Amino acid sequence: MLLAGCKVDTTVTVTMHEDGSGVVKVAAVLDAAAVKSAEAGGGKLEDRVRVADLTKSGWTVAPWARAQDGSATLTLTKPFADPAQATAILHDVSGAVGPLRDMKVDRSTGLLSTKYSVTGSIDLAKLATGITADQQLVQSLTAQGVDVAALDRTLLAGASDAVSVQVVAELPDDTTVVNGQRGKVTPVDASSSVRDTKKTVLVLLAVVLIVAAIVVLLWPSRRRGHGPARRRPVSDPVGAADAPRARRGTPPTN
């Protein structure tokens, strides 16, 4: 009901650390008109917007933050241990009919660097309230005499002007902000790459050691190939002189 003549700005922030852990934060800002609508009849925003089910699902719900212009912000946060958990959390945020489509958080490790990414899309072309998909809600509204179909059409009529969605990907060494476009599908493609200094040093050290080993293996053979030639032993000069005489048959002298 807040969408009728009001404005709700939602920002979904994915903050991922180098180890793949992080936190998903959802901040919904209701303008002054939306706050007045929620508090019509003397109620309080804190009582009209129920968040108990979010707390049971592991979300941390901060108190409403009211601004001087009459707007109010509700902030929800939920940590994740790895990219797979972050992907599941984003699916829970939007559900099957929400504006966040095919969202995926990923972390891949290469030889010398690690890549981080958040991909998907913001679909504001086919907005849906999700009322008809929640059977428990449908039964509750029907029991109170509410025409669920008429309510769904009323909400959808003003949804395109009332809803804005922004996705912020805070990745190691880079931050990407994607704003959804009214009536369009906006792709989300955020990525960053961080060089692993330790791995780089180890690879360089390994290369140096391999080169040093090759030099050590080749060095003895190089010395043998370029060393001084061996000298032949010198023959006995006396024996050399007597040998020809013996071969000519010269008789020995007394």
With respect to residue 230, please indicate whether it lies within any of the assigned structural domains.
no
With respect to residue 242, please indicate whether it lies within any of the assigned structural domains.
no
With respect to residue 222, please indicate whether it lies within any of the assigned structural domains.
no
With respect to residue 220, please indicate whether it lies within any of the assigned structural domains.
no
With respect to residue 154, please indicate whether it lies within any of the assigned structural domains.
yes
pLDDT of residue 1: 47
With respect to residue 38, please indicate whether it lies within any of the assigned structural domains.
yes
Mean pLDDT of the chain: 82
Q: Give the chain's domain count.
A: 1
Q: Measured between alpha carbons, how far is 56 from 74 in angstroms, rounded to an integer?
A: 17
Residue 159 near residue 120 (C-beta atoms within 8 A): no
With respect to residue 60, please indicate whether it lies within any of the assigned structural domains.
yes
With respect to residue 76, please indicate whether it lies within any of the assigned structural domains.
yes
pLDDT, tens digit only, all 254 positions of the chain:
444 557 889 999 999 999 999 999 999 999 998 888 888 888 888 888 888 888 888 999 999 999 999 999 999 999 999 999 999 999 999 888 889 999 999 999 877 688 999 999 999 887 777 788 788 888 888 898 888 888 888 777 767 678 899 999 999 989 999 999 988 999 999 999 887 666 666 666 666 777 777 777 777 655 555 555 555 555 555 554 454 544 455 555 54
Write out the residue range of the structural domain in which residue 134 sits: 8-196
Instruction: Characterize 216-230 residue by residue with b for buried, 16 or more Cβ atoms within 10 angstroms of its Cβ, and e for exposed.
Output: eeeeeeeeeeeeeee
State how far Cα 237 lies from the chain centre.
90
Helices (H), ranges, 40-186:
45-48, 52-56, 83-94, 135-143, 148-162
Helices (H), ranges, 110-192:
135-143, 148-162
Strands (DSSP E) along 62-132, which ranges?
A: 65-66, 72-80, 100-109, 113-123
Length of the chain: 254
